[in-house]
Structure 1
């Protein structure tokens, strides 16, 4: 799946210290090694290392 801007995704993410969390994000930009997104859990823009994204599922709105 390509990650385009403005896609809403549910991700499982592992932090630098190994903690795993579920996040709902809105993709803002995609780089080779990182993903800039608005994180609904934190209520702010975050940078996620793509290698630390364990799973992702697109949120489908009907």
Structure 2
């Protein structure tokens, strides 16, 4: 997971995460990593349209967002 965070941070690539919040609500978010700490990541959340903090232990799944044709050509 940490390698994926690092790669996303370096390449400014979006990630799709499944996250469980403090009230055990599960959400799927598209994020772009801003900073990585030992137990948290700071990421721009596209659904909330602002930078949010996510506990690493509460990230249930993670994968890179696939580039569409226009992003690949840029």
TM-score normalised by structure 2 residue count? 0.78
Q: Which runs of 5+ in 2 are unaligned?
A: none
Tell me, yes or no, if structure 1 residue 32 matches structure 2 residue 38: yes
List aligned pairs for 1:19-58, cutoff 5 A. 19-58=25-64
Ranges of 4+ aligned residues in structure 1 off by more than 4 Å: none
Higher relative contact order (CA 8 A, sep 6+): 1
Partners of 1:60 and 1:27 lie apart in 2 by 16
Q: Which structure has greater helix proportion?
A: 2
After TM superposition, the score normalised by the length of structure 1 is 0.92
Q: Larger strand proportion, structure 1 or 2?
A: 1
Alignment RMSD, CA only?
A: 1.1
